[in-house]
A and B are shown apart, each in its own frame.
Chain A
Amino acid sequence: MKIELLCFPEIKESDFLNKNSFQFKQKQVIYMASRIKIKKGLDIPLMGEPQERFLGEVKSDLLKICPEDFTGVTPKLSVKVGDEVKAGEALMYDRNHPSVKVASPVSGIVTAIERGEKRRILNITVERKDENEFVDYGVKNALSMQPEEVKESILNAGLWFFIKQRPYDVVANPDKDPRDIFVTGFSSAPLAPSYDFILKDQEKDLQAGLDALSKLTKGKVYLSVSPKTKSDALRNAKNVVVTEFEGPHPAGNVGVQINHIAPVNSGEVVWTLNALDVAVIGRLFNTGKVDLTRLVALVGSEVTKKGYYKMLIGTSLNEVLKTIPKPDDSRLRYISGDPLTGRKIDENDVLRAYSSQITVIPEGNNTHEFFGWATLSPTKYSAGATYLSSLISKLNPNKRYRIDARLKGGRRAIIMSNEYDQVFPMNIYPEFLLKSIIAFDIDKMIHLGIFEVAPEDFALCEFVDTSKLEIQRIVRTGLDMLRKEVE
């Protein structure tokens, strides 16, 4: 790790790492002085980047909230079929923490509650009424409120699910005091939307959200930004410590940022958010309304008209996705989120809770590549140098690849070494942590740093893995089992 200190050369790297000797309580300017450079990682040159243009608003009559999106929450219904709800009224809550609720994005009537195996709730459908009625939570200024009041406000409005916690990468437990709160101000994932573009006109909401967060911890609120960001609201945000993260993906992952700023120690809890969600929380304080409208980027190699749509969480994507031309003999893969960590959805599914990106790539399931292991084809992308793509990318950095959803190999035991490490910029040994999870050796898992990680931090490991293991699923299972065991 290399830290460049732009305007305070007398501050040494060690000072920065050791928070106790370096006082952050000075002026805002000092915060801007820190830039952390990430070397390990990978920017996958994927075709279909979003164009910065607004394509319109998407509205659907039926909106669906899917409880599976809220990791760590055991859903209990707050409504029955036939109930009338206002926008901002709770649809469901967490059985273990009843104060954690999920708000309805619109006003209307609950028309269906779909259940799956073991009566697990799959989704709650709300039919929109013509005029959107909001629950009025009152305009508030978080800075002049008590911490408990701020917490109450967010919990009551059903927006708490935006706050996640480490360890376990689940919706935060509101009863615990976080050591610090970390907010990532950019996404470095493949085809990620531009936060600058989305947050335009939301500057006040973002700041109000950050103000609210600053009340929720006795520690600090850290906001990480990309060196490329031009957004004043991010760069000069107040009441937070701003750090620039430079480098390839996963520089924008909050887990990586925590690991470089102040790692999570055993026994500590930190909360994590995304700047786009912070703006939604800020909107609650500025307007008194729960407004789950998001600007969502439609991206991917198969999308002909790439750009941004405005829509509510839970909006049916059918309208948008059916405009994408489908080749006769092949299927498309629709993803709510980015292609590394997003959720696979079908054409009639909805915008999921945390997504600001809809990605469409070819499924590729009826491609039969002859002697693929011997090919010298320049269209096959690999991060390693065993294919020509690495050479081509060096000669032409602007070359983009169309990558489909195939595994492109058989599942094997872990064979190659140092593959994961090259895309894992944290002070953790990913392979050994994974092995300890597979063996479910609790002591080893904790010692090797499982409290610091989330499945998304392993997404690139899973991408480059020659053994094609389901690494994110292994990590998720490990975290869930550990949580059950420890809590």
Chain B
Amino acid sequence: MKALRNYIDKIKPHFEKGGKLHMLHSVFDGFETFLFVPNHTSRSGVHMHDARDSKRTMILVVVALIPALLFGMFNIGYQHNLAIGIDPGFWETFIFGLLAFLPQLIVSYGVGLGIEFVTAQYRGEEIAEGFLVSGILIPMIMPVDTPLWMIGVSTAFAVIFAKEVFGGTGFNVFNVALIARAFLFFAYPSHMSGDQVFVRTAGTFGLSNPQMIDGMAQTVDGFSGATMLGQLAITDAPNFTEFSFHSITGGQASLMDMFLGFIPGSVGEVSTLAILIGAALLIITGVGSWKTMLSVFLGGGAVILLINQFAANAIMGMPPLYHFVLGGFAFGAVFMATDPVTSSRTEKGKWIYGFLIGALAIAIRVFNPGYPEGMMLAILFMNAFAPLIDFYVIDGNIKKRLKRSAIKNHERV
């Protein structure tokens, strides 16, 4: 530690004003503060500060994502094995998933942090930590088979046009990771939904290569890569009781499978259990708002129960529990809706904001034939309305204050 510190102190002057590497001072500062807690002391106001800072809070979100990430990676391998009909054991399954996912993570961090470094340097500011979270979220909400260049392009688009043009971390209106997904969703819809993208049938890095016929991986008989919500969207079952979910090989899929996450889907969203572990960490540490999370489920639940009364097809009759464990509902509620910058910032507002996200997500799922999943659009839509919700919450406080003054002034007369 001491040697490292001495080395940093030695090279530091080069990056300060007038030094020959001043053009890289933000990057240097980023690495220095990553290694060592900055030691400048307070000049005005309070003489001591709480130990938590932006780095600590962001890193905790990343830690909360790890259970979902690990399970999701395992599930890539697991679904792949099912699809091509092999069983190489736990570790090989996990490593397959890891290798399939890692390049996406590297591209996302590489592109995003690169842009962050450049803009921080351009503005002469410190590097903000916001992208630590966005960078891991982006590959976690993309289908497994998304090409790397798409991840790169969408990340660049999201970071530049959803964040930096507004002024950087803390000023963005929309959730950066969701903008990246939305960009691809509308630009390359065939790569973002359907039954071809959520299960990796091809090999990765020479590992577990299936037989190829005409450039198509050879899968087991009866294979279908449709997600559970995808199955619901195309079913002609007249009601939910006559409908049954099936796994990618055609067997029955139980509610427990869906809760644990042995179903096709994006890395982050599949295991509701892993998401709940992350949610617990966010709530205990106070980094994520339990009010937002709970109200998303309340809003979703309320709309589902209402729709269940008028069920005219399978998805309209699906009970709440299925809705909650399928698709990105839980993941969106826990990790996306709670983004403090784009969410409502007042406590009352969070209840309204979350409730409407849940309600809208379900409404899109059930009534929009084009989109089997509605979470992304619901959250982005409510991101736009969060300031309006806050405006009315604050306005209530203002009106109370004005009324109080008016009564007082009236009495004086």
- Using a CB–CB distance below 8 Å, which chain A residues touch chain B? 20, 44, 46, 263, 265-268, 333, 335, 339-342, 344, 359, 361, 363-374, 380-387, 389, 403-418, 421, 427-429, 431-432, 447-449, 455, 459, 462-468, 470-473
Q: In the bound complex, do residue B47 and residue A410 qualify as a contact, i.e. CB atoms below 8 Å apart?
A: no
B residues in contact with A385, CB < 8 Å: 284-286
Within 8 Å of chain A (Cβ to Cβ): is B121? no
A473 and B44 in contact, given A370-B1, A409-B49, A415-B340 (Cβ under 8 angstroms): yes
A to B CB contacts below 8 Å, 15 in the list:
A265-B409, A267-B409, A339-B46, A363-B41, A367-B37, A368-B39, A369-B36, A370-B35, A406-B41, A408-B38, A408-B53, A412-B126, A466-B50, A466-B53, A468-B53
Taking a contact as CB atoms closer than 8 A, the residue among B36, B345, B398, B411 that contacts A431 in the complex is B345
A366 and B49 in contact, given A410-B126, A415-B130, A417-B340 (Cβ under 8 angstroms): no
Q: In the bound complex, do residue B41 and residue A370 qualify as a contact, i.e. CB atoms below 8 Å apart?
A: no
Q: How far apart are the CA atoms of A344 and B48 in the complex, in Å?
A: 12
B residues in contact with A340, CB < 8 Å: 46-48
Within 8 Å of chain A (Cβ to Cβ): is B401? yes
CB distance from B162 to the nearest CB of A (A): 15
CB distance from B60 to the nearest CB of A (A): 6
CB distance from B67 to the nearest CB of A (A): 18
Q: In the bound complex, do residue A467 and residue B54 qualify as a contact, i.e. CB atoms below 8 Å apart?
A: yes
Q: In the bound complex, do residue A265 and residue B408 qualify as a contact, i.e. CB atoms below 8 Å apart?
A: yes
Within 8 Å of chain A (Cβ to Cβ): is B343? yes
A residues in contact with B5, CB < 8 Å: 368
The dominant DSSP class at the A interface is loop
Q: In the bound complex, do residue A364 and residue B341 qualify as a contact, i.e. CB atoms below 8 Å apart?
A: no
Listed from nearest, the 6 A-B pairs whose CB atoms lie closest are A409-B53, A413-B170, A372-B37, A373-B55, A472-B45, A369-B37
- Smallest Cβ-Cβ distance to A44: which chain B residue: B48
B residues in contact with A333, CB < 8 Å: 41, 47
- Smallest Cβ-Cβ distance to B404: which chain A residue: A265
CB distance from A458 to the nearest CB of B (A): 8
CB distance from A133 to the nearest CB of B (A): 38
CB distance from A352 to the nearest CB of B (A): 14
B residues in contact with A365, CB < 8 Å: 39-41
- Smallest Cβ-Cβ distance to B283: which chain A residue: A385
A432 and B394 in contact, given A268-B408, A406-B37, A459-B45 (Cβ under 8 angstroms): yes
Taking a contact as CB atoms closer than 8 A, the residue among A386, A428, A455, A465 that contacts B56 in the complex is A386
- Smallest Cβ-Cβ distance to A404: which chain B residue: B48
B residues in contact with A467, CB < 8 Å: 54, 170
Within 8 Å of chain A (Cβ to Cβ): is B309? no
B residues in contact with A384, CB < 8 Å: 50, 52, 285-286
Q: Other than A365-B39, A448-B397, give 20 A-B pairs with Cβ distance below 8 A.
A: A44-B48, A265-B401, A340-B48, A361-B47, A369-B37, A386-B286, A389-B51, A405-B41, A406-B39, A407-B49, A409-B38, A410-B38, A410-B53, A416-B287, A449-B401, A462-B49, A463-B48, A463-B50, A464-B50, A468-B53
B residues in contact with A370, CB < 8 Å: 1, 4, 35-36
Interface 1/0s, chain B 381-413, versus A by CB < 8 A?
Answer: 000000000100010011011101100110100
A residues in contact with B405, CB < 8 Å: 265-267
Within 8 Å of chain A (Cβ to Cβ): is B239? no
Taking a contact as CB atoms closer than 8 A, the residue among A342, A412, A421 that contacts B169 in the complex is A412
A residues in contact with B49, CB < 8 Å: 406-409, 462-463, 465, 468
Taking a contact as CB atoms closer than 8 A, the residue among B50, B170, B409 that contacts A408 in the complex is B50
Instruction: Identify which of residues 186-200 in chain B touch chain A, using a CB-to-CB cut-off of 8 Å.
Output: none
Q: In the bound complex, do residue A416 and residue B340 qualify as a contact, i.e. CB atoms below 8 Å apart?
A: yes
B residues in contact with A342, CB < 8 Å: 47
A382 and B52 in contact, given A365-B40, A417-B345 (Cβ under 8 angstroms): yes
Q: In the bound complex, do residue B48 and residue A405 qualify as a contact, i.e. CB atoms below 8 Å apart?
A: yes
A residues in contact with B50, CB < 8 Å: 381-384, 408, 463-466
Q: How far apart are the CA atoms of A367 and B41 in the complex, in Å?
A: 11
CB distance from A46 to the nearest CB of B (A): 8
CB distance from B13 to the nearest CB of A (A): 17
B residues in contact with A263, CB < 8 Å: 401, 404
Interface 1/0s, chain B 81-112, versus A by CB < 8 A?
Answer: 00000000000000000000000000000000
Q: Which of B44, B169, B409 has the most chain A CB within a 10 Å cutoff?
A: B44
Within 8 Å of chain A (Cβ to Cβ): is B173? no
Q: How far apart are the CA atoms of A44 and B46 in the complex, in Å?
A: 13
- Smallest Cβ-Cβ distance to A448: which chain B residue: B398
- Smallest Cβ-Cβ distance to A402: which chain B residue: B48
B residues in contact with A410, CB < 8 Å: 33, 38, 53-55, 126
CB distance from B282 to the nearest CB of A (A): 10
Q: How far apart are the CA atoms of A465 and B53 in the complex, in Å?
A: 8
Within 8 Å of chain A (Cβ to Cβ): is B249? no
CB distance from B33 to the nearest CB of A (A): 6
Q: In the bound complex, do residue A429 and residue B394 qualify as a contact, i.e. CB atoms below 8 Å apart?
A: yes
A471 and B168 in contact, given A263-B404, A418-B347 (Cβ under 8 angstroms): no
Q: How far apart are the CA atoms of A28 and B390 in the complex, in Å?
A: 44
